[in-house]
Amino acid sequence: MRLVDLIVRSGHLSEQAIVGAVMSGERPAHLDRCDLCAERAVELSRWLDEVRVAGVTVADAAFPAERLAAQQAQILRRLEQLDEPARVIAFPSHARLRREANGHRVAAGWLGVAAAAGLVLGVISGQWSARLNRPVTPAQAVQTPASQPAGEAAVEPARPIDASLLDMDLDSLSVPAFAVIDGMTPRATQVAMVSNGSGGK
């Protein structure tokens, strides 16, 4: 008997002591002498039994035999998977290549690389062509006919067409089969002289 029980509880056991006695099964000597405490212990014991039965019933109802059997099967399945060595499934490389060649699947990364490469090439070629096509000076631009490209004008300044040069070119291009037609056709120099003569008048 503890002193505190003696003073505060008139010699009766505390609730904690009764719980301890009931739970551990060790019966204090006081219970043999005190009917009130013995009755408290019996009442607590009955209540605890009732609680245990109710608690176990609820849990067992949630886990009937079928559920436990399914659970055990699931556990064993998981253990089997655990014991099996990891398998690496190798995909045939030619099948993958064929798939890519058919165009069904192109990695997104490669698309990005191709786009970036295209952009870089475009910029470089743009820079390069700009460097080659230097701007023409205004004086040269005035002399250059509108129909001629700027590149040729930069290399050789344009000159007025020489009529004899035209004739020479035509002669060099003469084809024997067309000689008759050629004879009937007036020369450019003649036309030019006629037009110059009329222009002078």
Partner 1 sequence: MSGASTDPPVSAREADARVAVDVKALQAAGRLEAARERFAELVTRHQRRAARIAFHYLRDAADADEAVQDAFVKAYMHLGTFREELPFEVWFTRILINGCLDRLKARRRRERWIAPPILDSSGNERDAGDYLPSRGPSPEDQVLAEERRAQLNAALAKLPERQRLVFVLSHFEGRSSREVSAMTGLNESTVRVHLFRAIRRLRALLASGAASKASLRGRTNRAAR
Asked whether position 191 contacts partner 1 by CB under 8 A, the answer is no
> 114 burial class (0-12, 13-18, 19+ CB within 10 angstroms)?
exposed
Residue from 39, 50, 152, 169 touching partner 1 (CB under 8 A): that is 50
Residues that bind partner 1 (rule: CB under 8 A) add up to a total of: 34
Residue type, 177: A
Asked whether position 66 contacts partner 1 by CB under 8 A, the answer is no
Q: In whole angstroms, what is the distance from residue 88 CA to residue 68 CA?
A: 34
Neighbours of 43 (CB within 10 A): 12
Q: Closest Cα to residue 150, out of 133, 163, 164, 129? A: 133
Residue from 10, 16, 102, 172 touching partner 1 (CB under 8 A): that is 16
CB 36 to partner 1: min, Å? 18
Q: Which is nearer to partner 1, 35 or 84 (CB)?
A: 84
Residue 18: HSE in the Cβ half-sphere, 13 Å Cα cutoff? 21
Q: Which is nearer to partner 1, 26 or 35 (CB)?
A: 26
Q: Which is nearer to partner 1, 78 or 96 (CB)?
A: 78
Neighbours of 99 (CB within 10 A): 13
Asked whether position 57 contacts partner 1 by CB under 8 A, the answer is yes
Task: Write out the residues near partner 1 by the rule CB under 8 A.
Answer: 15-16, 19-20, 23-24, 44, 47-48, 50-52, 54-63, 67-68, 71-72, 74-76, 78-80, 82-83
